[in-house]
């Protein structure tokens, strides 16, 4: 249920617009939404893409799933309802960064298609780029960087995506990156190429 909003609230239109910020930055702002299983390499890829863009003069910020849960979403658990709210908050925050003229990168499992589509609906068409980090459960579980799969298999973690909670694979993502097989460098190249193709960054402005 949507909360009541006071009739006394009026949206304030700033004189410094998103378009002016984008012109100053020399690139468009966009939301890159990295989704996939735990251990699929979402955070690794997002931060590597950000590093590449930053070194080439782009204004960027990465929202990492674990980091956000230390602050903005520290009051949320991992129930289906809390997962929905977690993604809603992140989507609204990333939308503000788009207004700031920033390339906003997010790395969240975001297991439910409906939640990802709600975030997509927050921004104009083409400004939400869904990047599916495709990696088999076997590879993700084999990496088990944080030991989470082992604990989930032992029943110590409830509602764990891929084990006791479903992951809904994107049906029509803007990009699929085989993070289970491609090198990190090759994966970054695919994402940067997508940004060029969509006109977010200039072809000649970013190193090949």
89-106 pLDDT, tens per residue? Answer: 999 999 999 999 999 999
Instruction: Report the number of distinct structural domains present in the chain.
Output: 1
The predicted model scores a pTM of 0.88
Scored b (16 or more CB within 10 A) or e, 148-164 reads bbeebeeeebeebbbbe
Flag whether 55 is in a domain. yes
Q: 104: which strand partners?
A: 31, 61
Amino acid 167: pLDDT: 95
What's the confidence (pLDDT) of residue 78? 81
pLDDT tens digit string along 135-189? 999 999 999 878 999 999 999 998 899 999 999 999 999 999 999 999 999 999 9
For residue 43, is it within any domain? yes
Domain membership flag for residue 181: yes
Q: Would you please indicate which residues are annotated as catalytic (active-site) residues?
A: 110
Domain residues for 173? 26-197
Residues 7-59: pLDDT tens digits? 776 666 778 888 999 998 999 999 999 999 999 999 999 999 999 999 999 99
Residue 64 β-bridge partners: 107
Classify residue 88: in a domain, yes or no.
yes
User: CATH number for the domain including 128?
Assistant: 3.40.50.300
Residue 133 lies in a domain: yes
Contact 161, 111 (CB under 8 A): yes
In a domain, 58, yes or no: yes
pLDDT at site 74: 82
Provide the 8-state DSSP code for 174: S
| pLDDT band at 75; cut points 50, 70, 90 | confident
Does residue 83 sit within a domain? yes
**Residue 162 domain-assigned (yes or no):** yes
| Residue 206 in this model has a pLDDT that exceeds 60 | no
Of 164, 97, 106, 165, give the one whose Cα is nearest residue 133.
Answer: 106
């Amino acid at each position: 249920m949507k909360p009541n909003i006071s009739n006394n609230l009026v949206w304030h239109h700033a004189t410094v617009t998103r378009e002016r910020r984008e012109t100053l930055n020399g690139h468009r702002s966009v939301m890159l939404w990295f989704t996939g299983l735990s251990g699929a390499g979402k955070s690794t890829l997002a931060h590597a893409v950000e590093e590449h863009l930053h070194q080439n003069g782009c204004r960027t910020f990465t929202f990492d799933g674990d980091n956000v849960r230390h602050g903005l979403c520290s009051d949320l658990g991992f129930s289906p309802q809390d997962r929905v709210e977690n993604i809603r908050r992140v989507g609204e925050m990333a939308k503000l960064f788009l207004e700031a003229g920033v390339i906003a990168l997010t790395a969240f499992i975001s297991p439910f298609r409906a939640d990802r589509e709600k975030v997509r609906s927050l921004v104009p068409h083409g400004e939400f780029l869904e990047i599916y980090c495709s990696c088999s459960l076997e590879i993700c579980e084999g990496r088990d960087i944080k030991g989470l799969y082992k604990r989930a298999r032992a029943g110590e973690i409830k509602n764990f995506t891929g084990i006791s909670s479903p992951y809904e694979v994107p049906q029509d993502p803007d990009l699929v990156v085989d993070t289970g097989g491609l090198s990190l460098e090759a994966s970054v190249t695919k994402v940067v190429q997508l940004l060029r193709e969509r006109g977010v960054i200039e072809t000649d402005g970013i190193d090949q």
